Structures are given as C-alpha cells and as structure tokens.
Amino acid sequence: MLPMSSSLPTVQIIGMGFVGLTLAAFLARKTDVLGVETSNEVMDVLTQGRAHFYEVGLDEAINKSVLSGSLRFSQSPEAMVARVVYVLTIGTPLIGDQIGLEALTRTSQQIALVAKNEDLVIVRSTVSLGSSRKIVAKSLTDLGKATLVAMCPERTIEGRALEELIELPQIVGGLTEEASELACEFFAGHGVETTTVSSPEAAEMAKLATNTFRDLQFAFANELAVLSDAAGLNAREIIAAANHRYPRSNISSPGLTAGPCLEKDPWILYNSGRDKGVVMSVTRSSRTTHENVPRLAIEQLLTRFPTMKKNGRILLAGMAFKGDPETDDTRGSLAFTIIDELKSRLPNMEIWTLDPLVDPSKLPSELSKNHLTSLSGNKVKFELLVVQHNGAQLVSELLHFKERFEKSYTLDFWGDLVRHRDKELFGVGSYVFGGEKK
C-alpha cells in the first residue's frame, strides 16, 4: 500500500455494504484504507475495483483508489504497529421486530483482539440505545484494552452518498471526552464538520430520531392520501394549498415509504423506548401506516374499477425501494409487499417485474424468471400496471413502450407516469395514490 498523508491514521472499515464501501471510497482520497468483508462473492467484485451495488460515482472512486494503492480489501481486520481508526459498519437487520446485533458483537470481539490502547473504534452502524457502550466498548474492556470508542452515525442518502459525506455534519458521541476529541480530529482531517453530543447513547438516538422524524412526516401525508382517496378528493391538491405561502405548514407529498433505514430505524427507536418503559405510540403508528399503504391502495384500485380483468398479466414497475435518487437497492422495498397483496387479491394473474437498475440476481428465484431490466426484446402486453417508484429511467422506459399498456389499468403510487402519459393512448383507467399531480 502506498503511503498517504503522515498526519492521518490508517483506517480499517469492517463491513463493505453501502455504508462501509461509500465511506471507504471517500476516506481513501486522503489516507490508507483497508476494507474488511467476509463475503467471497462481494470480495470478488471489490478486488476488480468496483462496487457490488449501484451508487453514483462510486465505481470511479473505488477504481481510482485501488489503482493508487490507498484502498485495498481483506477478509479480516489486521493488527498494525501505527495508530489505526477502526470503523464498524456491520449490518444490523431487523429480525421480526427486534434488531439483530449478533454480527456487531462478533466483530467487536474480533477488533478487540487486534486493537491497541492508542487506537480509536468508531461505531457507524445503526444500533439500539446503549449498544456502543454495552457491546463494542465492553468487548474491548473485557480484554483489558483501553481503546477509545465513539459513536459516529451514518446519515447519507442512497444516490448522493459521496456528496453528503462531505456536506453533512458528522454527529460524534464519544465514550469519553478524549474519544470525542479524537473522532472530531479524525473527521476534520477529511474536511468534515462535526457536532458533538454528550455520549454514545445521545449519538445513537440522534441517528434514530433523524430517520424516524422523516418517517412520521411521510406517514401523515400518506394518511391524508388514504382519507382523500376514500372521500374522492385529491390529497396532492390539498397539500399544495395548505403549504402555499403558509410559513407553518410543510406537509410532505404522499408515496411509498420504505427502504433499509426507514423501515428499520423507527422500530429500533420504538423498542429502545419499550426497554425503558416508554411506549412510543406515534412512532409505532407511523410505521403501521406505511406498511398498510399497499393493501389500502390495491383495495381502492379494485373498488374504482370493479370490471377490471382478473386474469392476464401484471407488470410491477420498480423493484428498488425508491426511484429518486435512483438506486438498485431492494432492501426494505414495498415492492415485495405489493406482490404478496396482488397474489392474494388477484391470484389468477401472472406477475412480471421491471426495473432498469435491478439485476435479476438480486431477486428471489421465483421473481427473477419474470424480471425485466428493459421492455425491449419482447412484446408482452399487460392488463395491469403498478408503478412502485418514480425513477427517471423507469418512467422513461414505460413511456417509450406505452403500446404494451393500451388495454391496461394503472396504479401509480407517485403520479409521475400518469402525469406524463397521453391518456388516450396509455391504458383504459388509472388511479394515482393520493390524487394526480397537477
């Protein structure tokens, strides 16, 4: 590995998922970075100098750093003589309604074997309250290590990660004042502004609060949409009027709300409250609202078009959890909930899926056989079109092949397709969740 700036410590990032790999590419511009990943499949891709998922500008950044020698990959952490900053970006999946912390525990124990007293361990994974102290720090102290620990949560958005790593202030909550100071010094060396809180627990809650607040905002918009649809009103028109030049109203637009963060963080916060004897009822209700939207929207579609054919083909357009910014990430996508609901309500229809960015290999085998990345190359026509996200490439593809939907009904969760299409040439009936865009 080629030497970088002598003033910046070497970094070892454990976990090369979205959070870890984007951070590795960002930090490798100024210092040596070792990316640790146990998956052989992922390692095969990384060693070719590219990412195993889609993110704007990431392949170029990785390839440049790999070629320069500032970024390399390994399947285990390494003991080093010089001072090291270890960054934990291990996945913490939701299992049922509980966060899975087993991988974080194992990784913390591995780091404790190689870390020195003068090193710094940064927790960047999304965790429940107290995890940085009770799991990560405890693993170090159990082996007699005095290594400093700080919680520094990730808050970037998929599609703009490399930009936001430099733009967003980094929250820092050290186990000690010295840990906070060292973490702030580390991020400052990479040009990142920091804001310090009093403890790791405060930093953990700040991350959970960030995503839960967004979830609450979107939940209210979706509740308005459900009510407006039932009352024959247009929620988007109502929201636009309520927000217009009124300084105390900033209601969000309705739409599907999910993904690896928003589907998980509110439940982690809710369970953290429950552990302290506090019932986070508003937090729980917002998640329930979002999870019910696919069912309620499909019920509304069938109510509005009772004569719609109940056999033929359905195209679910959009498998990634969102379309703006575009991503190939299907984690937490409500597309799978929609598919289950369609199978239940329309059992005699064959379901196809389309997403220009999602490779069939990312989908379960029962879905991959009828998954398309383009409508070119076949002439299949559909009786029902369900638009799950509003990615520009997806909408463009649907508009380009609109003859495939001449006799279809459309359920559009965002309104971008219906807004642009020629109603006379595109389908026989449409329903936009929350009302059409003006």
Query: Across all residues in the chain, what is the average pLDDT?
Result: 94
pLDDT at 378: 84
pLDDT at 24: 98
pLDDT at 422: 58
Mean pLDDT, rounded, for 281-290: 96
Which fold, 10-198? Answer: Rossmann fold (3.40.50)
Same fold, 10-198 and 199-438: yes
- Percent of the chain past pLDDT 90, that is, above it, reads 92
Mean pLDDT, rounded, for 73-97: 94
In angstroms, the Cα distances linking 187 to 65, 86, 192, 409 are: 19, 13, 5, 52
pLDDT at 2: 35
pLDDT at 310: 92
Query: Treating both helix axes as pointing N-terminal to C-terminal, what angle do 281-304 and 200-231 enclose, rounded to 10 degrees?
Result: 30
Residue 419 has pLDDT above 80, yes or no: no
Residue 37 has pLDDT above 50, yes or no: yes
| Residue ranges of domains in the chain | 10-198, 199-438
Q: What is the pLDDT of residues 109-142, one digit of tens each?
A: 999 999 999 999 999 999 999 999 999 999 999 9
| Least reliable range by pLDDT among 93-102, 124-133, 182-191 | 93-102
Does this model's pTM top 0.85?
yes
3-state secondary structure the chain: CCCCCCCCCEEEEECCCHHHHHHHHHHCCCCCEEEECCCHHHHHHHCCCCCCCCCCCHHHHHHHHHHHCCEEEECCCCCCCCCEEEEECCCCCEECCEECCHHHHHHHHHHHHHCCCCCEEEECCCCCCCHHHHHHHHHHHHCCCCCEEEECCCCCCCCCHHHHHHHCCEEEEECCHHHHHHHHHHHHCCCCCEEECCCHHHHHHHHHHHHHHHHHHHHHHHHHHHHHHHHCCCHHHHHHHHHCCCCCCCCCCCCCCCCCCCCCHHHHHHHHHHHCCCCCHHHHHHHHHHHHHHHHHHHHHHHHCCCCCCCEEEEEECCCCCCCCCCCCCCCCCHHHHHHHHHHHCCCEEEEEECCCCCHHHCCHHHHCCEECCCCCCCCCCCEEEECCCCHHHHHHHHHCHHHHCCCEEEECCCHHHHHCCCCCCCCEEEECCCCCC
CATH code that applies to domain 199-438: 3.40.50.720
Q: What is the pLDDT of residues 204-239, one digit of tens each?
A: 999 999 999 999 999 999 999 999 999 999 999 999
